Chain A
């Protein structure tokens, strides 16, 4: 069964303290892995798509990487406005665009 596990569940950082969020997945043929950011009371906001192992994408202080078993979201010198829940989702081959989401990592960045 296709599955996505994110860790840690919650992460508290001081402003400027870099860290990484993990997304490990089990899927019958990966078509794509997606990272989203969700603020309280809002819908998920698209960040990155990764398609193959070794691929990396960057946006401001965020960098996403992908291996055959997991993806990392690296946050460099975070600011309080980076506080949110970060969701990882995978799309398996053989079907339509069914995204399987992890439970998310709640990130809190304190000044």
Chain B
């Protein structure tokens, strides 16, 4: 049983294209996240949704648009891809209760390569 899954695992595309990455979690969590891990391996948060509401929106180009159709799914759409978008994108989920957010569980990542 995969707790947090992402598709696709690899994505190779050309500059200017539009692409989407999908994420699903079966842990029953109510909060989901998108992180970007660059070539230096730094993990940086991009977005977070709690019960389908956007709660974290870091300084990210507006070419990136997250969408959460329900609590178990969080997708990331990227318009007009640029070379600098090449990275590994991780989805994560956690449970929030009484204002406390617990540990986050990560998916396997999607390696995006823009040529």
Contact = CB atoms under 8 A, between A and B. Distances in A.
Interface stretch (B12-20, B48-56, B70-78, B79-87): B48-56
A17 interface: no
B114 interface: no
A45 interface: yes
Classify the interface of chain B: helix, strand, loop or mixed: strand
B106 A96 contact: no
A101 B42 CA distance: 7
B109 A99 contact: no
A44 B102 CA distance: 15
B90 A43 contact: yes
B35 to A, nearest CB: 8
Interface in B7-59: 31, 33, 40-45, 48, 50, 55-56
B48 A43 contact: no
Contacts of A65: none
Contact of A42 (B31, B92, B109): B109
B22 to A, nearest CB: 15
B68 interface: no
Interface string B83-111: 00000001010101000011111111100
Interface in A33-80: 34, 36, 41-46, 49
13 contacts: A34-B104, A36-B106, A42-B108, A43-B4, A43-B106, A43-B107, A44-B43, A44-B90, A89-B43, A96-B50, A96-B101, A97-B31, A103-B41
Interface of B: 4, 31, 33, 40-45, 48, 50, 55-56, 90, 92, 94, 96, 101-109
Interface of A: 34, 36, 41-46, 49, 85, 87, 89, 91, 95-99, 101, 103-104
